[in-house]
Amino acid sequence: MTKLDSSVVRLVAACGLSLLAGSGCKGLPGKSDGSVSGAPPTGVPLSLSWEQSYKLDVTGSEANATFFATKEADKPPLKLNATFMSFAKGTKVFIGTETGTVGDSGFFATLVDIKPAVLKQSLEDLKGPIDLALTVTLEAPGAPAVTTPLPKQDVRESLRFALLKARDGGMSFGEGDTPAAKPRAVAVVSGYSDLDFVGNGKNVKELDWVVIAEDQPSPRLTKQCAFKEGTSALKIFDANAVALDRRTGAKITEQVIKASDECPMFVMVNKDDNSAKATVDQKDVLAFARAAWSRAK
């Protein structure tokens, strides 16, 4: 998932914002007459276009909105972080059940609950962008409202973030999220962003187990490998893999998965110390999860 661009980060950091409906920010760039720099003219319907699936632009102005499923520790999982910037004061915003009005700063942000939409999806569909069934409506001062559907969004990292809570005492998806006599499906979390599924489950409520694989703190082996650009030190990290009951966090089984000792064909080299890192393959973590699920089903 693409990160917020630097201008967004600066705006948020400058205000110490709490991303709640109706939150405002004082002291952002504006004109001496109180208007917002780069905002669309008032009294004119906004012309909207999607620059990316996560970024909405207003033609002829600097106003834009961004949409990212939450994956940060300080925010709840399975929310859509909707941020609107450089809009005219008084612009009304509607997205899902959330509404608000842009203040003096030209900024408005809110968190929209996307869990109900995620729960409706099949596990197969969750491997790609999904339709959250949301529309964005903007009503500039003195002008008619304009509406655009939100494009499909990739929510895998937000779902991954939610599933990782299994190691902190368990994670429930709410009403109707009850266990089965035998595990129906397993979520497999490894690497920086990998998320896959094993088993016969139909949706996230049927993910009875979560397998989490994390690199060990120190490399098991360091060896020299020759690449086209020269020789580099390859640090080989094995992974600690554990299967957990998703709802309670209870440990079911665990195993150390070894990374390959072979020099890879391609690798990212750290120029500071001319070293590279090798970790376990996702297929090996999936094999561990599949074997544990097969024994229990």
Residues 179-215 have pLDDT tens digits of 999 999 999 999 888 899 999 999 999 999 999 999 9
Torsion of CA 161, 166, 168, 169, to 10 degrees: 140
Mean pLDDT of the chain: 89
Q: What's residue 242's pLDDT?
A: 98
> Does the pLDDT of residue 11 top 50, yes or no?
no
Q: How many helices (H) and strands (E) does the chain have?
A: 4, 18
| Per-residue pLDDT band at 21 (split at 50, 70, 90) | very low
The C-alpha R_g of the chain, in whole angstroms, comes to 23
Q: For residue 192, what are its two tokens?
A: 């920086």
Distance CA(249)–CA(239), nearest Å, equals 19
Give per-residue burial for 282-292: e unless 16+ CB within 10 Å, then b.
eebbbebbeeb
- Residues 95-118 pLDDT 10s: 999 999 999 999 999 999 999 999
Residue burial 25-63, b: 16+ Cβ < 10 Å; e: rest: beebebeeeeebebbbeeeeebebeeeeebbbbbeebbb
Per-residue model confidence as pLDDT tens digits over 121-147: 999 999 999 999 999 999 999 999 999
Q: Where are the alpha helices (DSSP H) in the chain?
A: 6-15, 115-119, 156-163, 282-296
Record the pTM: 0.82
Between CA 109 and CA 101 the distance in angstroms is: 10
Q: What is the pLDDT of residues 268-292, one digit of tens each?
A: 999 999 999 999 999 999 999 999 9
Domains in the chain: boundaries? 6-153, 157-296
SS3 call for 92 = strand
Q: Given pLDDT bands bounded at 50, 70 and 90, which one contains residue 34?
A: very low
